């Protein structure tokens, strides 16, 4: 059981050369400094797992100042931070190490013009939707776009398989909205389908559960942890979201993998997700190559292969509508976001390899 462990093997928490190198730069020669992985954030305090076990650390003045300047620099669940133990016994978080991946969404809050970090250093995003009521395909497409964009592999986990009348049909509908992403139907109640999730939860691997309230994220977390770490809604209540979980929490599983349970998402604004959108809509992209005009908008143009596919029943009209909507949203975000800020952010969070793939790309 995770809470009985007194110390941690950092590698099993995801520590590797990438983080080790930047830790060296931040804490050079400081014997009171050690790395810690953030499991929970409460205002100016974080809970971290270090090699010595769990600690509470207060954010240092430097870190608070940096976070005031740029809210995305605030520690987030999943981050690696430099933890320092002071002679008087106080423990502080001094710096956030550069993130390998970051899940950002647009924020309604104008102060957060750089987007909001939902989870850091995740390997897999599990887009979690219930099979009952029916999964929301548009919401799945949004979350997938953000996950692809941010370098985490997305998979879709459809919960409550025990309640679904026709799970197979729903799974194939979801798969059609998610080319390139694996789709799993599971039940945390009967255990059905749960084994298939194990490969994502190998030691050192981190999964984030993202989805609406009531989807069963905390129930799934508890089932994977084999112990009730997260509070869930009473069973047999209706399946509407009630926002039971109000903080993000990283849970270390008995097998070594980690799950970040998150509060149900109310809205998922796209954030700088052009590349991610292309990957969600590969079917439309392929069809678009056959359109008569290279800049076809797939609305009413003659010779539009996308509209032809909709007419022929080969492409769901819902999918084209969703594509139009998300494209419009991206254009709006791009126009709203100051180019300098975006460049700054790209420099900071996006690794060089991704950067080079993206150069040459023309934004709409």
Ligand X SMILES: Nc1nc2c(ncn2[C@@H]2O[C@H](COP(=O)(O)OP(=O)(O)OP(=O)(O)O)[C@@H](O)[C@H]2O)c(=O)[nH]1
Map the footprint of ligand X across residues 200-229, applying CB under 6 A.
213-219
Q: Does 77 bind ligand X (CB under 6 A)?
A: no
CA–CA distance from 224 to each of 126, 177, 227, 256, 355 (Å)? 13, 27, 8, 11, 35
Q: What is the distance between the alpha carbons of residues 213 and 147, in angstroms, rounded to a whole number?
A: 19
CB of 295 to Zn ion, least distance (A): 9
State which residue, 74 or 221, has the beta carbon closest to Mg ion.
221
Q: What is the distance between the alpha carbons of residues 307 and 313, in angstroms, rounded to a whole number?
A: 10
Among the listed residues 56, 243, 328, 336, the single contact to ligand X using CB under 6 A: 243
CB of 232 to ligand X, least distance (A): 4
CB of 207 to ligand X, least distance (A): 14
Q: Does 189 bind ligand X (CB under 6 A)?
A: yes
Beta-carbon neighbour count of residue 116 at 10 Å?
Answer: 18
Map the footprint of Zn ion across residues 193-232, applying CB under 5 A.
none
Comparing CA positions, the residue from 197, 195, 237 lying closest to residue 214 is: 237
CB of 261 to Mg ion, least distance (A): 6
Q: Does 218 bind Mg ion (CB under 5 A)?
A: yes
* 296: partner contacted, choices Mg ion, Zn ion, ligand X, none (Cβ within 5-8 A by kind): Zn ion
Residues touching ligand X, count (CB under 6 A): 27
CB of 163 to Mg ion, least distance (A): 17
Map the footprint of ligand X across residues 249-278, applying CB under 6 A.
263-264
State which residue, 247 or 351, has the beta carbon closest to ligand X.
247
* 22: partner contacted, choices ligand X, Mg ion, Zn ion, none (Cβ within 5-8 A by kind): none
CB of 191 to ligand X, least distance (A): 9
Sole window of 5-13, 99-107, 115-123, 238-246 interacting with ligand X (rule: CB under 6 A): 238-246
Q: Does 296 bind Zn ion (CB under 5 A)?
A: yes
State which residue, 34 or 218, has the beta carbon closest to Mg ion.
218
State which residue, 195 or 355, has the beta carbon closest to ligand X.
195
Among the listed residues 136, 162, 278, 301, the single contact to ligand X using CB under 6 A: 162
Q: What is the distance between the alpha carbons of residues 169 and 160, in angstroms, rounded to a whole number?
A: 14
Sole window of 44-52, 71-79, 214-222, 250-258 interacting with Mg ion (rule: CB under 5 A): 214-222
Q: Does 304 bind Zn ion (CB under 5 A)?
A: yes
Which residues sit at the interface with ligand X, rule CB under 6 A? 159-160, 162-163, 187-189, 213-219, 232-235, 237, 239, 241-245, 263-264
Tell me which residues touch Zn ion (CB under 5 A). Answer: 291, 296, 298, 304, 306
């Amino acid at each position: 059981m995770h809470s009985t462990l007194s110390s941690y093997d950092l590698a099993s928490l995801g520590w590797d050369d990438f983080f080790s190198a930047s830790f060296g730069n931040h804490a050079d020669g400081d014997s009171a400094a050690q790395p810690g992985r953030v499991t929970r954030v409460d205002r100016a305090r974080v809970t971290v797992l270090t090699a010595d076990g769990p600690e509470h650390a207060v954010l240092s003045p430097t870190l608070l100042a940096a976070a005031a300047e740029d809210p995305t620099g605030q520690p987030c669940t999943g981050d690696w931070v430099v933890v320092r133990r002071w002679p008087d016994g106080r423990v502080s978080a001094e710096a956030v190490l550069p993130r390998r991946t970051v899940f950002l969404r647009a924020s309604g809050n104008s102060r957060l013009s750089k987007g909001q970090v939902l989870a850091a250093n995740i390997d897999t995003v599990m887009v979690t939707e219930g099979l009952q009521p029916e999964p929301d395909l548009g919401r799945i497409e949004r979350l997938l776009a953000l996950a692809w964009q941010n370098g985490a592999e997305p998979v879709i986990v459809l919960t409550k398989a025990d309640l679904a009348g026709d799970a197979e049909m729903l799974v194939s509908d979801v798969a059609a909205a998610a080319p390139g992403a694996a789709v799993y139907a599971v039940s945390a109640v009967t255990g059905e389908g749960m084994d298939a999730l194990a490969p994502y939860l190998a030691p050192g691997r981190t999964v984030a559960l993202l989805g609406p309230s009531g989807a069963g994220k905390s129930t799934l977390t508890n089932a994977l942890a084999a112990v009730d770490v997260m509070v869930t809604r009473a069973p047999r209540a209706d399946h509407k979201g009630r926002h039971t979980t109000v903080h993000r929490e990283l849970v270390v599983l008995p097998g070594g993998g980690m799950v970040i349970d998150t509060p149900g998402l109310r809205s998922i604004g796209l954030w700088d997700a052009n590349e991610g959108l292309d990957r969600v809509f590969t079917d439309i992209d392929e069809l678009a190559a056959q359109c008569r005009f290279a800049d076809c908008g797939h609305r009413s143009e003659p010779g539009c292969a996308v509209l032809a596919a909709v007419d022929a029943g080969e492409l769901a009209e819902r999918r084209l509508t969703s594509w139009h909507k998300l494209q419009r949203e991206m254009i709006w975000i791009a126009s709203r976001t100051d180019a300098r800020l975006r460049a700054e952010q790209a420099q900071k969070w996006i690794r060089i390899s991704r950067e080079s793939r993206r150069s040459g790309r023309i934004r709409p």
